[in-house]
Structure 1
Amino acid sequence: MTRLRHRPALDVRVEIRGELPREDAEYARARALETATALGPGAHALRLRLTRTRDRSVTRPAVAQAQVELDGAGPVRVHLATRTASESVDLVLGTLAGRAVRLSEQGDIGFAVTYESVYRPQYADRPLAGRRIARHKTVVLARRTPGRAARELLALDRRFHLYTDLATGRDGLVRRCPLSGAVEPYLAGSEAVPPLDLAEAARRLWLTGGPFVAHTDPGDDRIRVLYRRYDGHYGLIEPVSGGRIGAGILSALN
């Protein structure tokens, strides 16, 4: 007797945020299911989030974020924005599928920064006095070589990625070079990750206008990253053993 093996039900979830026409939401769900099916049995847990911002300072208001888990390779993520919802859905799922296939077949997605400048989501134009740390995230840093941390950075479509350096045991950070797109590794306490308190890191983020400031906390010599959120506020990432944030720490910005 021959038994037929069936693939388990696809784990596909679509989240819609903001005001979108019903046909856009239905299109997003259909395309997500289609993409998950095309990626085959090695792909699991495809997530698609589609957001329509009402901020008039943003010229590409349709923001899409997609992620899928691959057997033996881990997560792949893409985050971008266009003018219309359907365009964002097509672009984010097409990019996700291409990167997933390359990662599964070749072990990395390459060092090209696809859509980095053209389709990266935009920052809302929020007055300095109205900004605050809207998200504080603590993380457990995995032990990695700089090379593996760089591959994870690109697969997750991030500007920076934290890890524990396998050789030294120190906190490390890999980041994209804004001009070349190459990935550069740094350790806590280096020139690129200097000792700063949070208020000084916030001042530097404001003065430089960059996407983030990585610094070493003088209290425990561990890495912190203060970064700009797309809603115009700030976020803070620190190792799980870091200290607590005091109230009003960003008062020096106002």
Structure 2
Amino acid sequence: MTRLRHRPALDVRVEIRGELPREDAEYARARALDTATALGPGARALRLRLTRTQDRSISRPALAQADVELDDAGPVRVQLATGTARESVDLVLGTLVGRAVRLREQGDIGFAATYESAYRPQYVDRPLARRRIARHKTVVLARRTPGQAARELIALDRRFHLFADVTTGWDGLVHRCPLSGAVELCAAGSGALPRLDLAEAGRRLWLGGRPFVGYTGPGDDRGRVLYRRYDGHYGLIEPVSGGRIGAGTLSARN
């Protein structure tokens, strides 16, 4: 990882994964510093990660992820993929600045950002027999209102967001609809999430062709999410038993 410092108030870090020409890596570093200046005061910890996959099943192999902490608007994250490294860098950093401006000026990034982007990263076409749960996270869920959870879902560019409802105490799941991109809410304690074991959740994930399955585990009403990773494997998020935290801390990121 290469660490760059533009000024003491803003730490800028650029990480390059995979083989890239030196000039493309330097371009990414220069654009990250330019973006740090454009974000202005109140921006902290800008991160840019650029990955180029060699998998031939991927038509947009250059994946860029950028995120920043804003003192007045919280975290913002964007993840997009294109055919070339420079195009991905320009697209993801430009989108990040645009979202930061909207969050500061209007308090949200608009419903236009909820659609499934044409530049969303692609899944590696991994044979079913070779897939496994490559990441298993147990998390303490943050207490949020559904509105706050939906706002974080969009600002963090997620497909889903698991949280604890500050009013009802139930685990909640906000997610984007696959076709319309609209944000929907499911509450674990209300029966909106099906009660499944892990094997059945995996079967539904495979048969349904969706990016994730939200469910409650056998014997409790705690929400869980089994999801597809872009490397072709699966990830699992489960809440810590009995664990929830206050409104000042973010919940897990998928």
Which whole-Å deviations, capped at 9, do the CAs of 1:156-177 have from their partners, x for residues lacking one?
A: 0000001111111010010012
Rg: which structure is higher?
1
**RMSD between aligned residues:** 1.4
User: Is residue 201–residue 213 contact of structure 2 (8 Å, CA) maintained in 1?
Assistant: yes
- Any residues of structure 2 matched to 1:100-249 within 5 Å, and which? 100-113=100-113, 116-190=116-190, 192-241=192-241
The code of the aligned residue for 1:210 comes to R
Letter in 2 for 1:140: V
Q: TM-score, normalised by structure 2?
A: 0.90
Q: Does 1:40 align with 2:22?
A: no
Sequence identity of aligned pairs in percent?
A: 84
Closer, same or farther: CA 115–17 of 1 in aligned 2, 3 Å:
farther
SS in 2 for 1:240: strand
Gaps of 5+ in 2: 1-6, 243-254
Aligned residues: 236
Distance (Å, rounded) in 1 between the aligned partners of 2:169 and 2:191: 18
- Structure-1 separation of matches of 2:104 and 2:118: 26
1:185-233: CA deviations, max 9, x gaps? 1100445411000000000000011100000011322011000000000
CA contact (8 A) 1:111 1:181 kept: no
CA positional deviation for 1:182: 1.4
Gaps of 5+ in 1: 1-6, 243-254
- Shift, 1:116, TM fit: 2.2
- Flag the 1:114–1:133 CA change in 2: closer, same or farther, 3 A: same
Q: Which runs of 4+ in 1 moved over 2 A?
A: 7-10, 113-117, 189-192
AA in 2 matched with 1:63: L
Q: Which amino acid aligns with 1:240?
A: V
- Structure number with the higher strand fraction is 2
Partner secondary structure for residue 227 of structure 1: strand
Contact 1:133/1:233, CA 8 A, preserved across alignment? yes
For 1:21 and 1:9, the matched residues in 2 are separated by 30
Sort the Cα spacing of 1:22 and 1:9 in 2 relative to 1 into closer, same or farther, 3 A: farther
For 2:152 and 2:194, locate their aligned partners in 1 and report how far apart those are by CA, in whole Å. Answer: 24
TM-score normalized by structure 1?
0.90
Give the alignment of 1:16-31 within 5 angstroms: 16-31=16-31
Q: Secondary structure at the match of 1:230?
A: coil
Amino acid at match of 2:61: P
Q: Which residue of structure 1 aligns with residue 83 of structure 2?
A: 83
Q: Distance in 1 between matches of 2:114 and 2:226?
A: 24
